[in-house]
Amino acid sequence: MKPTDVVGVVGIGGLGHLAIQFAAQMGCEVVAISGTEEKRSEALKLGANHFIATSTSASNPFSVPRKINHLLVTTSKMPDWEQLDSILAPMVSVYPLTITDFETKLEIPFMSFLLQGRRFVGSTVPPKIVYEEMLEFAARKGVRPVIERFPMTLEGVRESLKKLEDGKVRYRGVLYVEDA
């Protein structure tokens, strides 16, 4: 990615909130895409330039000043491609970064993607140096996870799992040992 690119992030959760920060700190224009308006202010504070709530805009085509060159999908399911079509650049690269299971099928509007030169980009486990460079960049630029702390007790674990199950953890849950 280059600083002149427009990066879309689908899913403002544990991975998505970090993706927004990294892309913004790299100088990219960032479009945060979420199901509801609930995370708008948080996404903008994290560095997004634009925000789209797919549920409130379902009947209208989306609009952004410049079309997305790179789309990071950080949700557990693929987005509605027809719904996003108006904001994707013809040669967009789509990076599916999460999977829920090995049985889930990737469904795309094949001809639309083929005719516009759109592509899916897979990933492998990078070498250690890539992680070191990423952590150095994060430290230099102030990219930090937003965490919610839970005591490492039976009640703390139960509370964290309940919030996780309800989709209410913002954005990473961390168990900690209380000082004695």
- State whether 137 and 160 are in the same domain: no
pLDDT one-digit tens code per residue, 85-103: 999 999 999 999 876 677 7
Same domain, 48 and 66: yes
Structural domain boundaries, residue 121: 6-128+131-141
Cis (ω within 30 of 0) for the bond into 171?
yes
For all residues of the chain together, what is the average pLDDT?
Answer: 91
Mean pLDDT of 152-177: 93
For the chain, the domain total comes to: 2
Residue 75 included in any domain: yes
Is 12 buried (19+), middle (13-18) or exposed (0-12) by CB count in 10 A? buried
Total number of residues shown for the chain: 180
Residue 6: pLDDT band (50, 70, 90) is very high
